[in-house]
């Protein structure tokens, strides 16, 4: 199928040889690109703007920290920032595994049941697709907050107690699979290439609104979703819940009664209402599913069990769809979850996360040439690595075991496939393995002595 070849165009290589190319890359984040440069007849030709924008993501995150420093505001915490970036890698790993299959239904409906042939190279089709994608996103986002099993996936995005650009990349691996159904009516008349490219633009736009460095954008606040509006949406304060769902445009919230203006004296408390203290990205992806299971078990009738999954997270029998305010927790000021680690250990974790990112980039560039089993094993190792790094950030007692195994697996892989040319990598992983192995032995020795005493 053609859509399976989309990822082959997902190169991270950006042409920085001309300043104009750099400016165009940044313009993509604000929907300011020339539409004619992003009109495609065939799905195979649609570039993956998200993959191509990673240099810009990292540049903007660095610039945000510089601005925060000048504004005398807290910088991005290393543990929370790496956790958010880990979620982004997890999301893209899922997309690599699916190889574009989440778009299969859209392509099938368009190719077999479309009722209107809109020209793929028309400026009118371009703007119609842009508005419709954003309209559908509003309902996707609203459903993700007001339908419990969808919230179980979307809560990943809200799980940080900070609010910065890295949060824009913190998404669930099941995001695409829980959202594609809402776009299917567009398949009756909007060309797939237009639908896909505007999904990318929407993602890029929503990245930069996750910041506290921008206060108010004046008249633009009436039409567009802005950092000010979206900060309020991310609050776990009672007044912030279920508000401001818009993606690019905020007019949908104004039209459908879900808009709320940010209150000047309100201290917004970020994170989940019942926050999960962890920097383990894989655990944060799945932990909430147990909440749904427990709520299902707590219901006494079959109908209430069904509603506990379908209605809002705060719903209770006999109460409104999204729950009654008197039953909800009004989150006040709380201490953020944080684990203080030595500087050397933070530098170690930063180094190994960069090495994971380098490995993931290699996977992005070559996965279409690899067997499905090889891709699955590669991604499994990446997920294990991100989990292990998260466990160290949590100061988990089993983190030394995870790090020892992770480093050993890399060394065995290098030995098995004769990759001795990775000299620097081998030195880093060998030293890391020896350190964690000795550390584990010391802990074990202390425990044995404690039992003897």
Task: Render pLDDT for 217-251 as a digit per residue (tens, 0 to 9).
Answer: 999 999 999 999 999 999 999 999 999 999 999 99
> Which neighbouring-strand residues pair with 249?
224
CA distance 283 to 433: 24
Instruction: Evaluate the CA torsion angle 164, 165, 166, 169 in order and state its sign.
Output: positive
pLDDT, position 332: 86
Cβ-based neighbours of 72, under 8 Å, separated by 6 or more: none
Is residue 184 within 8 Å of 190, Cβ to Cβ? no
Query: Taking residues 259-285, what's their average pLDDT?
Result: 94
68: region left, alpha or beta (phi > 0 left; psi from -120 to 50 alpha): alpha
Rg (C-alpha) for the chain, rounded Å, is 23
Give the torsion through C-alpha atoms of 124, 125, 128, 134, to 10 deg: -130
Confidence of residue 51 (pLDDT cuts 50, 70, 90): confident
pLDDT in tens, 411-434: 998 888 777 667 889 999 999 999
Q: Which pLDDT score, from 0 to 100, does residue 2 have?
A: 38
In angstroms, rounded to a whole number, what is the distance separating the alpha carbons of residues 225 and 247?
6
Whether pLDDT at 365 is above 70: yes
Structure-block tokens of residue 446:
């202390």
pLDDT at 420: 66
Based on the number of CB atoms within 10 Å of its own CB, is 124 exposed (0-12), middle (13-18) or buried (19 or more)?
Answer: exposed
Euclidean distance between CA atoms 431 and 407, whole angstroms: 9
SS3 247: coil
Helix, strand counts (H, E) of the chain: 18, 0
Q: Which residues of 398-419 are buried (b: 16+ CB within 10 A; e: fewer)?
A: ebbbbbbebbbebeeebeeeee
Read off φ and ψ for residue 324, nearest 5 degrees. Answer: -95, 140
DSSP-based three-state secondary structure for 260: coil
At 98, the pLDDT band (50, 70, 90 cuts) reads confident
Residue 193 has pLDDT above 70, yes or no: yes
- CA distances 10 to 16, 44, 71, 419, Å, are 17, 11, 36, 25
| C-alpha span between 346 and 237 (Å, rounded) | 32
Residues 6+ away with beta carbon under 8 Å from 186? 106, 129, 132, 133, 136, 195
DSSP string, 281-302: HHHHHHTTHHHHHHHHHH-SSH
Q: What is the mean pLDDT of residues 29-49?
A: 93
3-state secondary structure at position 224: strand
For the ranges 21-35, 120-134, 228-242, the lowest mean pLDDT is seen at 21-35
Percent residues over pLDDT 70 in the chain: 92
Q: Is the pLDDT of residue 447 over 60?
A: no
The reported pTM is 0.91
Cα 448 from Cα 445, distance rounded (Å): 5
Residue 99 has pLDDT above 70, yes or no: yes
CA separation (Å) from 183 to 71, 110, 367?
A: 41, 12, 28
**Are the beta carbons of 394 and 278 closer than 8 angstroms?**
yes
Residue 7, pLDDT score: 39
Confidence band, pLDDT 50/70/90 cuts, at residue 445:
low
pLDDT at residue 152 in the model: 95
Q: What pLDDT band is residue 23 in, cutting at 50, 70 and 90?
A: confident
Average pLDDT over every residue of 294-305: 95
- pLDDT computed for residue 18 by the predictor: 57
């Amino acid at each position: 199928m053609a859509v399976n070849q989309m990822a082959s165009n997902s190169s991270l290589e950006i042409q920085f040889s001309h300043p104009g190319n750099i400016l165009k890359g940044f313009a993509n984040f604000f929907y300011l690109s020339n539409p004619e440069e992003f009109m495609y007849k065939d799905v195979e030709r649609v570039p993956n703007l998200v993959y191509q924008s990673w240099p810009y993501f990292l540049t903007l995150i660095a610039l945000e920290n510089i601005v925060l420093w000048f504004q005398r505001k807290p910088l991005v915490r290393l543990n929370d920032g790496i956790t958010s970036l880990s979620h982004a890698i997890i999301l893209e790993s899922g997309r690599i595994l699916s190889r574009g299959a989440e778009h299969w239904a859209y392509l099938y409906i368009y190719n077999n049941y479309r009722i209107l042939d809109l020209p793929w190279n028309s400026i009118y089709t371009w703007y119609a697709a842009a508005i419709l994608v954003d309209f559908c996103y509003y309902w996707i986002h609203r459903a993700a907050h007001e339908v419990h099993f969808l919230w179980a996936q979307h809560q990943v995005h809200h799980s940080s107690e900070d609010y910065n650009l890295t949060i824009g990349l913190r998404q669930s691996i099941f995001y695409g699979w829980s959202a594609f159904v809402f776009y299917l009516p567009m398949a009756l008349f909007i060309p797939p290439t237009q639908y896909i490219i505007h999904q990318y633009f929407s993602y890029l736009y929503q990245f930069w609104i996750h910041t506290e460095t921008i206060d108010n954008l004046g008249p633009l606040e009436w039409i567009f979703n802005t950092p000010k509006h979206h900060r309020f949406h991310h609050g776990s304060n009672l007044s912030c819940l279920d508000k401001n769902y818009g993606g690019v445009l905020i007019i949908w919230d104004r039209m459908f009664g879900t808009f709320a203006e940010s209150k000047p004296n309100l201290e917004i408390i970020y994170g989940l209402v019942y926050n999960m203290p962890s920097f383990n990205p894989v655990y944060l992806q799945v932990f909430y599913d147990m909440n749904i299971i427990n709520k299902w078990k707590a219901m006494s009738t079959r109908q209430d069990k069904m509603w506990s999954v379908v209605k809002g997270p705060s719903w209770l029998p006999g109460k409104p769809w999204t729950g009654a305010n008197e039953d909800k927790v009004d989150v006040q000021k709380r201490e953020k979850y944080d684990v203080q680690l030595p500087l050397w250990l933070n530098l170690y974790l930063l180094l190994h996360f960069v090495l994971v990112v380098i490995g993931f980039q290699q996977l992005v560039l070559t996965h279409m040439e690899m067997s499905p089993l090889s891709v699955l094993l590669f991604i499994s190792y990446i997920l294990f690595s991100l989990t292990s790094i998260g466990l160290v950030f949590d100061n988990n007692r089993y983190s030394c075991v995870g790090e020892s195994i992770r480093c050993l697996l890399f060394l065995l892989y290098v030995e098995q496939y004769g990759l001795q040319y990775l000299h620097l990598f081998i030195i880093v992983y060998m030293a890391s393995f020896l350190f964690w192995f000795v550390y584990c032995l010391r802990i074990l020795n202390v425990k044995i002595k404690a039992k003897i005493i």
